[in-house]
Structure 1
């Protein structure tokens, strides 16, 4: 089906509210009532951030809250993850809702009264720790959703599995973690999940708005390592060397032709970036080898295969032409699939988002080359992932502090909409299930 036609079809479906059961008034009232608690939880998590696979304090708070709501709770999932199961009073599907809990090795620069002062060791050096991507708000909002839905337990037409995930930002090389490990440990089984919903706060979208995309919404990602091996020599006699630095420079330049000459950019975007290069120890020694690290982003499985194949060919053949060798490792330490929103599910659930946000505030967006390991859940069951605006109203998205930066900031007025959106999706999906 033509993509532009599909997008138009989905947008036209937004006013069709009559096809979906109305969200009960008490849900809206409950979300209003719990807003202050969600903000309080978020501020606490923001002040006490923890890096991936180390979210022990956060997990303990989450588990205690879910247990207080009478749920069946499992801790230690994928190291520090928490899963709560709310069994409704009526038969129906199992809906999974996911929030990520980890912070980043970023030193906070803002003047918030609850700004992080946490320091820790990361990659052998002391770093600050900050919720610089909004995972603190995701956790707090899902805790709010859990309390709202627990208050409606007798009326629920099915069960809800609350997944509080560690290490979305990735694990250390060679260490499994995050959504991928949760899936391997069976988080989508017992009971078997029928559908999964998730959201991400977005600092460049105005609070009160929701954005989405059917199909490939966020890129799949692979990191890569390229090691070029040559022959060492004195810097004054370069003709005696096979210079891995010069070869690396040629490889980097040649890699730039992949997106511009091999990828059909009228269909999907792609990225090939070298972000790190290390070689040598002093000015007058041509070293024996050079190491490059980089990232690859793609929006389809086919494009991913194309990019990887071309990188391997270009790196190895460019090195060979110079008398050197190149070893290419893809992925080097991590791989996330494309965050792919199931087309039928997206079409079915858009009216639910429109009901809570207003149809005029639910916007179709282009794909994003950032990545999300929510995609591992979507590989197994139909999923819908969307963005929740977190930028103060009237701010300029071009100058608003972006994610993963020391000045990252989100407007807490957006949290109530996040609670209503996840709650509404859950109830409406249960109402529509046969």
Structure 2
């Protein structure tokens, strides 16, 4: 009989809650997750789960050996926080100035630890292995932590036959799971443009090349890529997030720096947008007698779910919580480093509903007031367990 774990999330809820709040109060940025990693290791030790460390510096791999022969499934959680000053007022706000778990990675790590505890206590019933992957540096595109972990041999000894990850999602109520076959999250490229003109006195513009005017023309024309080059039935976003230029009200600027991001789903669309981006930036600046230096970073690829494993997520959610637990969802153009695991191993990425009840407008991810309904922790913990168990039984049958 395949074991079921519905309700076991409630049994470890208080422990998972305390771990989540500990991480929330002590956030660490990408590549700095040393204390977070230490806490993960101490918790795994207390559960009796063996592990190895040092992947991408702070990454941890826990290994739960089932009591029966079988395949291998991996569950992944990211650990890093963001350089954001928290503006919440609850009792467990960040104690570190300018750093905050504004993307829910504190909850991801805590839930994976809770899932590990449940799995380890029932390991005699498990046919195969479950890998617990605690990943650093998810937020630092284009480097990330998934690729460095694999380069450091995180799966050299234990190769996953399927891999899964979840992300807290404020657009879904607690108790709902969002999953799709195919694209789930977008490719996330970054760029920086330095426009150099010729400065001068504000009253004598004819003697200058106004870098601000050039930057304005560049930004305006870049927006035509999405509106006039991308197929209307396809998706792409080009956003300017930062612009710096000028020194004084009566001085024409000689330099402007523009930074932004490009998001797409399809590789063909990504390449087209990237090519048009370079053509427009170079063409506009040259036409206006300015110079442009472009730094373009190919970021995370799109997060594309294997259709079989996306269906597996949906079926597991329905079996645990009913048909209302799997609403129709649309993919997001947010970037996700888990995409690099999915390039190597089949699996799926899904969203865990964490919306605050009674709140009409939820604060989005990366907001300084981002919060989750912590009741979702019990759902996310036990759901990860059931996903892993069901996957091992599915693999055992060769489905």
| Distance apart, 1:344 and its partner CA | 2.4
Give a deviation string over 1:224-243, Cα, whole Å, max 9, x none: 01122223333322212222
Give a deviation string over 1:283-332, Cα, whole Å, max 9, x none: 3333333211111011111111111111001110111111222222211x
Q: Does 2:377 align with 1:415?
A: yes
What is the alpha-carbon distance in structure 2 between the residues aligned to residue 23 and residue 38 of structure 1?
Answer: 22
Q: Does 2:17 align with 1:47?
A: no
From 219, 225, 235, give the equivalent of 1:258. Answer: 225
CA RMSD, Structure 1 to Structure 2 (Å): 1.8
Flag the 1:29–1:208 CA change in 2: closer, same or farther, 3 A.
closer
SS across alignment from 1:108: coil
Aligned equivalent of 2:49: 71
Aligned runs of 1:193-212 on 2, under 5 Å?
193-212=160-179
Aligned runs of 1:9-88 on 2, under 5 Å?
22-24=2-4, 27-88=5-66
From 160, 180, 185, give the equivalent of 1:213. Answer: 180
Aligned runs of 1:269-284 on 2, under 5 Å?
269-284=235-250
From 256, 268, 271, give the equivalent of 1:290. Answer: 256
| Distance apart, 1:372 and its partner CA | 1.1
What is the alpha-carbon distance in structure 2 between the residues aligned to residue 392 and residue 293 of structure 1?
Answer: 33
Q: Does 2:367 align with 1:405?
A: yes
The answer to whether the Cα contact below 8 Å between 1:211 and 1:363 also exists between their aligned partners in 2 is: yes
SS across alignment from 2:12: helix
What is the alpha-carbon distance in structure 2 between the residues aligned to residue 82 and residue 250 of structure 1?
Answer: 48
Aligned equivalent of 1:169: 139
What is the alpha-carbon distance in structure 1 between the residues aligned to residue 7 and residue 169 of structure 2?
Answer: 25
155-164 vs 65-74, which moves further: 65-74
What is the alpha-carbon distance in structure 1 between the residues aligned to residue 8 and residue 126 of structure 2?
Answer: 15
Runs ≥4 residues deviating over 6 A: none
What is the alpha-carbon distance in structure 1 between the residues aligned to residue 129 and residue 231 of structure 2?
Answer: 43
The answer to whether the Cα contact below 8 Å between 2:199 and 2:210 also exists between their aligned partners in 1 is: yes
SS across alignment from 1:364: coil
What is the alpha-carbon distance in structure 2 between the residues aligned to residue 105 and residue 282 of structure 1?
Answer: 29
Aligned equivalent of 1:390: 354
What is the alpha-carbon distance in structure 2 between the residues aligned to residue 352 and residue 281 of structure 1?
Answer: 58
The answer to whether the Cα contact below 8 Å between 1:59 and 1:81 also exists between their aligned partners in 2 is: yes
The answer to whether the Cα contact below 8 Å between 2:193 and 2:257 also exists between their aligned partners in 1 is: yes
Aligned runs of 1:238-257 on 2, under 5 Å?
238-257=205-224
| Distance apart, 1:33 and its partner CA | 1.4
Aligned equivalent of 1:153: 123
Per the normalisation by structure 1, the TM-score is 0.87
From 278, 282, 285, give the equivalent of 1:312. Answer: 278
SS across alignment from 2:327: strand
Aligned equivalent of 2:291: 325
Aligned equivalent of 2:308: 344
Flag the 1:23–1:88 CA change in 2: closer, same or farther, 3 A.
closer
What is the alpha-carbon distance in structure 2 between the residues aligned to residue 236 and residue 29 of structure 1?
Answer: 73
The answer to whether the Cα contact below 8 Å between 1:356 and 1:420 also exists between their aligned partners in 2 is: no
Per the normalisation by structure 2, the TM-score is 0.94
- Gap runs ≥5 in structure 2: none
Q: How many residues align?
A: 396
From 294, 300, 317, give the equivalent of 2:266. Answer: 300
What is the alpha-carbon distance in structure 2 between the residues aligned to residue 263 and residue 357 of structure 1?
Answer: 39
SS across alignment from 1:199: strand
Aligned equivalent of 1:142: 112
